[in-house]
Structure 1
């Protein structure tokens, strides 16, 4: 080790080429550890060019991704969308309109939304059908009433397999830690946690069965589920209305009018922004609840 000191006792310069530390007795058989100082630039000379280059790279990558997404959307709306509408959506809509009356469709939507979650089947297509056929008003009432049954049946069925579900949750402690938040605290805390879990991107069907294993009470569970699923219901109803609008325009081989285009674009942007906002908000609040619980346990 080399050390240089100024004459006035001020701060000097130290250059450490190598340091050897011995461990052991006075004999020559002791263990030694060699430490070597790696050269570094304490001034940070090129940190600013590096950060500038990284920022330019991030901007360039964002522009490329944006151009790719715009191109993909243009291809979809120009070729894929019309083909899918003409070959799949329009025949199904025409078949439903000719075969079933609105009361029969209402019964089908209610039964599917109420029973499909217990069978581990998605119910979103049925919600789209409710939007296409009944719109926001009656469509929302129909879906929310069916969801009451759809989230209750798996809760009671899951109680029959309580210990098996508990074992599954123990295999995935990180994901289970979020679900267990709903089973802690008072009814208000449980209601809040369930509502946030429903808004978050956690799989809807899985939570129906896993909820009972977290010891959440049924009252906060059902109320939190209904409140937390309101944004998703409106999104699915809007999706059904949008599909019906595009299908009608494609079937009549007419372009949408200017007001329809404006309302469609604005509605889509608002729906997407709302979905992202509620998802990010729910994830942030769930992390805050996890932090609060960890602090209480310490």
Structure 2
């Protein structure tokens, strides 16, 4: 059993506690900081951090192996059996103005039907490139995000009841409905960039009491990275398909350009996703504090 003597030193000789006397004659115990426990905690933190990076490295290594396998076997087969026939069919069946109408209609109407419009954006990239493809998509997207907003206003109460079943997601969406015009615009743009399903948000936005104009402009601004990534994807698919169809390999500059473009695209997606998630959490915390 360990006890303190008059000098505040236990019988084991460890200076872990001091018995101090105050002016009234009473005694109190003064605890000392133990450096060994602090060192243990620091070591555990370093170990967990190293283990996190090891797991991340292994994960990226596995993803890289899967990507190499896909590029070696799955990619060429997919290009030959699906992409090349589709490009040939589009070229022989439709003219450029007709394709423009089809792309515009699909981007404008598919979100209302809860269907993804990314393949249509790929076609825009294949056919029209960056400039006209972007103008075509962004104009159609203005209609694509407006129609669900207007339809959702009719079923406003039903959507609110549905959101009540998912309080965590609902609180994230409702942070876009408060504050001034700029606050709503920024929140909507961040939601568009974040991994939240944008097709669902088109209908749920009206239940968050966000105004139409900040919703529209925030949606279009938030969709800009996705549009450019989709256009680039379409151009890359067409480049690889043409090389496969004509049985010629890409030159070294073309390979370097495509690899760099692909890396920049992936990096852009990761950056905007992480940034949007962090900013949305900050906005959500601020709104929670205001509600309290």
One fold, TM greater than 0.5?
Answer: yes
1:9 aligned to which of 4, 7, 10: 7
Name 2:15's counterpart in structure 1.
none
Query: CA separation in 2, counterparts of 1:53 and 1:287?
Result: 28
Does structure 1 residue 121 correspond to structure 2 residue 115?
yes
* 1:198 equivalent in alignment to 2:197: no
Call closer, same or farther: CA 1:56–1:206 in 2, change over 3 Å: closer
1:293, 1:56 → 2: CA distance?
35
Report deviation, 1:62: 4.0
Closer, same or farther: CA 51–135 of 1 in aligned 2, 3 Å = same
1:86-97 equivalences under 5 Å are 86-97=80-91
In the alignment, which of 276, 282, 290 is matched to residue 276 of structure 2? Answer: 282
2:110 aligned counterpart, secondary structure: helix
With over 3 angstroms needed to count, the CA separation of the structure-2 counterparts of 1:290 and 1:126, relative to structure 1, is: same
Length-normalised TM-score, structure 2:
0.86
Aligned partner of 1:169 in structure 2 is 163
Q: Distance in 2 between matches of 1:48 and 1:191?
A: 43
Q: 2:69 aligns with which of 75, 88, 97?
A: 75
Deviation for aligned residue 1:72:
1.4
Shift of 1:11: 3.5
1:38 alignment counterpart: none
TM-score by length of 1: 0.85
Residue correspondence of structure 1 range 106-255 to structure 2 within 5 A: 106-255=100-249
Secondary structure of 1:182's aligned partner: coil
Output the CA distance in 2 between the equivalents of 1:281 and 1:49: 30
Shift of 1:253: 1.3
Shift of 1:154: 0.3
* Closer, same or farther: CA 116–62 of 1 in aligned 2, 3 Å: closer
Secondary structure at the aligned position of 2:281 is classed as helix
Once the two structures are TM-superposed, the CA of residue 295 in structure 1 deviates from its matched residue by 2.3
Alpha-carbon separation, structure 1, partners of 2:140 and 2:11: 77
User: What SS does the corresponding residue of 1:201 show, helix, strand or coil?
Assistant: coil
Shift of 1:70: 2.4
Aligned residues: 270
- The gaps in structure 1 that reach 5 residues or longer are 15-40
- Structure 1 counterpart SS, 2:184: helix
Structure 2 CA distance for partners of 1:82 and 1:289, relative to 1, 3 Å: same
CA RMSD after TM alignment: 2.2
